[in-house]
Amino acid sequence: MAATVSFPVVNMEKLETEERDTAMAVIRDACENWGFFELLNHGISHELMDEVERLTKAHYATFREAKFQEFAARTLAAAGDEGADVSDVDWESTFFVRHLPASNLADLPDVDDHYRQVMKQFASEVQKLSEKVLDLLCENLGLEPGYLKAAFAGSDGGPTFGTKVSAYPPCPRPDLVAGLRAHTDAGGLILLLQDDQVSGLQLLRGGDGGEWVDVPPLRHAIVANVGDQLEVVTNGRYKSAVHRVLARPDGNRMSVASFYNPGADAVIFPAPALVGEEERAEKKATTYPRFVFEDYMNLYARHKFEAKEPRFEAMKSSAIATA
């Protein structure tokens, strides 16, 4: 059972009013203590969000559902008749759209021109919003505006940016499989459009031994979460939260998750302004490593569903000297 606590929600319109300080404090607390928050009145048009949701659900029904049903039948047969362990299976149907550094939208099969255009426009809006949110984080951290965007820029001057489109269809055996197993996100900042009817996304608040908390569906909200790279650059002030998607016996949850990540060759390290004098002098063992983002991703690909700390440790042993 997930705990019922008040989830951090930020009405971004308040950032333009005398209530700005209160809104900034909600963002700060969310980044320090949750790793997640939801944004309302974020500037992305509701019509565009509705169209993304409508087209994404139609795309699943037309092009992916039949294939998913075959996978579902195979998985349930293996679990039931053969007693196979399916705990490493995710009950999801997904496809990935790359935007930066190079778009693959034109190459995706079964995506018509209208869906392509809508996804392109939505990605452009989400990228703008990601950079706006990164600057709000800079402000809260006492970093100069643009610091986090620059920290994530690769040698081509930009981030890696892409969108994972997912359906979590109903599952008759949610006791056997997860919608998506628990993990932290590898990248920088993740902005998610999630189904406003069907829930399932949960975060682990308080780390190991903490409590699972629902990320509540909220119409026209964008969910933001901290990835591992933000944890490193903020020197652990902000921590990526473990999260998962529950499989459910009813409802087909849709989600569109956009990952604003460092460029592949970006060198990631804690912002010097966030490393204390004492820590710098002692080069404490707890200090986060310095590494090339692509190396982290190669490791993550093999260890996504494991704890992040060993990944940070492994990066220390391959640490590069660029200071």
Ligand X SMILES: O=C(O)CCC(=O)C(=O)O
Please identify, using beta-carbon distances, which residue of 27 and 257 lies nearer to ligand X.
257
Burial of 154 (C-beta count, 10 Å sphere; 0-12/13-18/19+): buried
- How far, CA to CA in Å, does 22 sit from each of 215, 235, 236? 21, 24, 23
Task: Report how far residue 247's alpha carbon sits from residue 99's, in angstroms, rounded to the nearest whole number.
Answer: 29
Q: At what angle do helices 293-303 and 309-317 cross, to 10 degrees?
A: 130
Instruction: For residue 88, give the H/E element and its range.
Output: none
Min dist CB 275 to ligand X, Å, is 29
Contact between 245 and ligand X per CB under 6 A: yes
The verdict on 221 binding ligand X (CB under 6 A) reads no
DSSP for residue 285? T
Contact assessment for residue 27 and residue 39, using Cβ atoms and an 8 Å cutoff: no
Smallest distance from ligand X to CB 243, Å: 6
At closest approach, how far in Å is the CB of 239 from ligand X? 16
Nearer to ligand X, 42 or 243 (CB): 243
Smallest separation (angstroms) from ligand X to the CB of 201: 4
Residues 71-130 that bind ligand X (CB under 6 A): none
Residue 35 · residue 240 · CB < 8 Å: yes
Please give the Cα distance from 25 to 42 (Å, whole number).
17
- Of residues 199-218, which lie at the interface with ligand X (CB under 6 A)? 201
Residue 185 interacting with ligand X (CB under 6 A):
yes
Give min distance, CB of 173 to ligand X, in A: 20
* Helix or strand run (H / E) with residue 181: strand 180-183
Q: Please, which of residues 145-164 interact with ligand X by CB under 6 A?
A: 164
Among 30, 129, 138, 192, indicate the residue that binds ligand X (CB under 6 A).
192
Return the residue of 133, 180, 204, 268 that touches ligand X, per CB under 6 A.
180
Q: Is 166 in the site for ligand X (CB under 6 A)?
A: yes
Using rule CB under 6 A, residue 243 touches ligand X: yes
194 contacts ligand X (rule: CB under 6 A)? yes
> Is 254 one of the binding residues for ligand X (CB under 6 A)?
no
Least Cβ distance, residue 130 to ligand X (angstroms): 16
> Could you tell me which residues come within 8 angstroms of residue 9 by beta carbon, excluding any fewer than 6 positions away?
26, 37, 38, 39, 40, 218, 221
Q: What b/e readout covers 271-290, taking b as 16+ CB neighbours within 10 angstroms?
A: beebbeeeeeeeeeeebbbb
Pick one of 257, 268, 292, 299: the residue that binds ligand X (CB under 6 A). 257
Given the rule CB under 6 A, which residues bind ligand X? 164, 166, 180, 185, 192, 194, 201, 243, 245, 255, 257
